[in-house]
């Protein structure tokens, strides 16, 4: 649906105030989502904004600010530590979610305290109420495509991972419709896998590794987006879980919590689960070197991340666990099999290679590099980059360290099968999404876009790979024709996006109202907005239906967002370094 445009104004307690915009992008029974964007006309070191509605609003969530309710119609928003500083010429843009009675779309105004007129006239009094349409976005360097706010999409993706948290939630939990859950699990914490409530070890570790890789390579993108501290906070959640899941004395790793079959027969909140939550472990008898190695990779990369951050004690704990877990995986080879085959890996060599490469970078111990070279002996092109297949990731990492031409040819061969022209084996949707699979088409395109940006940084296909990667992300964020065009497959980004993801918690109304299979079958939008989640994506034909029952196209998962988020960080890095390439999307968003 098109956004509901409300009165927009920037109200300052001074004369000649700068203009800004407030829009309500989506509204539903009991709530609405809006966005404010304010040009900064004075350097600020700390800010307070006042958001005033023309109707009563019960509560307000704004994830980039601390919110205080002043009255039923006014809310004060104060900066967080990471976004206190704003400079002249910047724009302060943020998304908010309001809660009220009924289906409301209230007009709103916003002001920033102390952002005085540059004339210094000191003239004060009642602020002028200006009403105008939201400004038409200027084109970016991407071939006429309407401007994409990649930094905003990056921040939203982090929020999706916060919505997937299991365990005792922290005081700064930004997802107000989520509460404590899984407190009796054999290992508390971690992420729920998708729209269900199982904690699957392989996709959780794989997602964590890709996300950490994006922070390793594109930290400046997170800084520019104002998301660095949020990213540290988010990524520590699974790392803490992995530390608890691995017992180096017993040589035992918890790799799954919950019964997938029983879980999938329950439609409700994770806070309301009553079914058994079996604890599945691998050890010297029950093999699982694929999951153990992937978890070791995440821990090793986490140790690099937090050492760079300055938290040497935590980094040391992560590295110690990574080395012992890798040793366990290396000496106890065998692929994990669960009874229901939800995430059955095709092998363990790619995970072992990936773990040894990150351990080499974490320690400088050349034995790990030798392990990686000896583990990865075949020259072959990967099918995709995903939770099961890390082949091309290993080849890229090995090339970066060795500059071996064989590894470079493997990476180039991979993209030869993905990019148009050449030896392309992958079909494309009419609007240009590289469509690898019916299951998670957006996931595979996002993962490959991330890897393309990584390879480009290493000097492989630099301009061509960057251009293709940005075009893939542009498609996902709106350069397509679904629903009349400008449809984002990331929930909460833009004005049109999925409203009915296959996600139990988001489908549930506020407690204490019950949540059952009635919510699964309810055709109305989900009561909770699952901000930042990337849905599976369209059919090869480009068709897509926003239907909660269609888990093939409308599932969300931690691994779906991982490479996509990494690509967003990479693109913000390109913006920052003025290397964003010209792009030509087939179906550019015009709004």
Q: Report how far residue 113's alpha carbon sits from residue 578's, in angstroms, rounded to the nearest whole number.
A: 33
Strand (E) or helix (H) holding 559: helix 558-576
Query: Any residues with CB less than 8 A from the CB of 274 and at least 6 apart, and which?
Result: none
Helices (H), 419-544: 441-457, 462-477, 504-507, 517-520
Query: Any residues with CB less than 8 A from the CB of 409 and at least 6 apart, and which?
Result: 379
Question: 273-289 burial, b for 16+ CB within 10 Å, e for fewer?
Answer: beeebeebbbeeeebbb
Instruction: Give the residue carrying structure tokens 């079959």.
Output: 261
Q: Tell me which of 259, 555, 559, 575 is the catalytic residue.
A: 555
Q: How far is CA 336 from CA 80, 385, 507, in A?
A: 43, 19, 32
Q: Report how far residue 293's alpha carbon sits from residue 437's, in angstroms, rounded to the nearest whole number.
A: 26
Q: How far is CA 489 from CA 157, 193, 202, in A?
A: 12, 19, 25
Strand (E) or helix (H) holding 199: strand 199-200
**DSSP 3-state of 348:** coil
Q: What is the 3-state secondary structure (H, E, C) of 63-103?
A: CCEEEEECCCCEEEEEECHHHCEECCCCEEEEEEEEEEEEE
- The three-point CA angle 409-581-564 to 5° equals 70
Does residue 555 have an active-site annotation?
yes
**Which is nearest to 77 in space by CA: 56, 97, 101, 99?**
97
Q: What letter would DSSP give residue 119?
A: T
Q: Report how far residue 26's alpha carbon sits from residue 495's, in angstroms, rounded to the nearest whole number.
A: 7
Report the chain's terminal Cα–Cα distance, integer Å. Answer: 13
Let me know: does 290 contact 335? Beta carbons within 8 Å: yes
Q: Tell me which of 61, 259, 290, 546 is the catalytic residue.
A: 546
Q: Report how far residue 336's alpha carbon sits from residue 290's, in angstroms, rounded to the nearest whole number.
A: 7
Q: What sign does the CA torsion over 161, 164, 168, 170 have?
A: positive
Active-site residue set: 546, 555
């Amino acid at each position: 649906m098109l956004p509901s445009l409300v009165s927009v104004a920037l109200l300052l307690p001074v004369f000649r105030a700068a203009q800004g915009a407030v829009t309500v992008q989506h509204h539903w029974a009991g709530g609405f989502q809006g966005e404010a964007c304010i040009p900064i006309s004075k350097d600020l070191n700390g800010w307070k904004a006042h958001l005033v509605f023309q109707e009563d609003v019960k509560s307000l969530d704004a994830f980039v600010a601390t919110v205080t309710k002043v009255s039923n119609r006014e809310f004060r928003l104060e900066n967080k530590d990471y976004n206190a500083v704003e400079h002249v010429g910047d724009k302060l843009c943020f998304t908010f979610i309001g809660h009220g009675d009924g289906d409301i779309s209230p007009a709103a105004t916003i002001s920033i305290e102390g952002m005085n007129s540059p004339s210094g006239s000191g003239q004060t009094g009642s602020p002028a109420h200006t009403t105008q349409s939201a400004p038409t976005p200027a084109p970016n360097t991407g071939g006429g495509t309407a401007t994409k706010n990649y930094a905003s999409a990056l921040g939203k993706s982090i929020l999706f991972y916060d919505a997937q948290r299991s365990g005792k939630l922290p005081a700064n939990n930004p997802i107000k419709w989520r509460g404590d859950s899984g407190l009796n699990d054999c290992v508390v914490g971690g992420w729920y896998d998708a729209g269900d409530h199982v904690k699957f070890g392989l996709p959780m570790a794989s997602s964590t590794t890709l996300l950490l890789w994006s922070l390793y390579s594109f930290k400046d993108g997170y800084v520019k987006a104002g998301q660095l501290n949020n990213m540290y906070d988010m990524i520590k959640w699974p790392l803490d879980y992995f530390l608890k899941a691995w017992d180096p004395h017993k040589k035992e790793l918890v790799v799954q919590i919950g019964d997938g079959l029983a879980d999938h027969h329950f439609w409700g909140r994770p806070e309301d689960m009553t079914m058994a939550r079996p604890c599945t472990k691998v050890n010297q008898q029950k093999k699982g070197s694929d999951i153990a190695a992937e978890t070791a990779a995440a821990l090793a990369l986490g140790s690099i991340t937090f050492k760079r951050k300055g938290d040497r004690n935590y980094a040391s704990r992560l590295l110690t666990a990574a080395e012992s877990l890798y040793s366990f995986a290396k000496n106890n080879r065998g692929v994990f099999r669960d009874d229901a085959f939800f995430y059955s890996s095709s092998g363990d060599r790619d995970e072992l290679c990936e773990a040894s490469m990150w351990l080499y970078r974490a320690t400088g111990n050349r034995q790990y590099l030798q392990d990686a070279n000896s583990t990865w002996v075949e020259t072959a092109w990967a099918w995709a980059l995903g939770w099961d297949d890390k082949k091309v990731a290993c080849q890229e990492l090995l090339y970066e360290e060795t500059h071996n031409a064989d590894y470079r040819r493997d990476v180039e061969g991979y993209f030869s099968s993905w990019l148009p022209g050449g030896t392309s084996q992958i079909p494309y949707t009419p609007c240009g999404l590289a469509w690898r699979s019916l299951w998670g088409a957006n996931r595979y395109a996002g993962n490959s876009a991330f890897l393309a940006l990584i390879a480009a940084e290493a000097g492989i296909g630099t301009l061509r790979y960057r251009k293709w990667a940005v075009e893939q992300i542009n498609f996902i964020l709106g350069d397509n024709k679904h629903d009349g065009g400008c449809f984002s497959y990331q929930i909460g980004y833009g004005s049109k996006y999925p409203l009915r993801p296959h996600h139990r918690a988001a489908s549930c109304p506020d407690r204490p109202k019950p949540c059952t299979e009635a919510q699964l079958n309810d055709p109305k939008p989900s009561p909770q907005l699952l901000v930042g989640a990337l849905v599976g994506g369209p059919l090869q034909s480009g068709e897509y239906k926003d239907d909660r029952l269609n888990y093939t196209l409308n599932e969300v998962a931690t691994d779906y967002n991982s490479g996509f988020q990494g690509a967003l960080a990479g693109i913000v890095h390109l913006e920052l370094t003025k290397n964003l390439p010209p792009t030509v999307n087939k179906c550019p968003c015009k709004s």
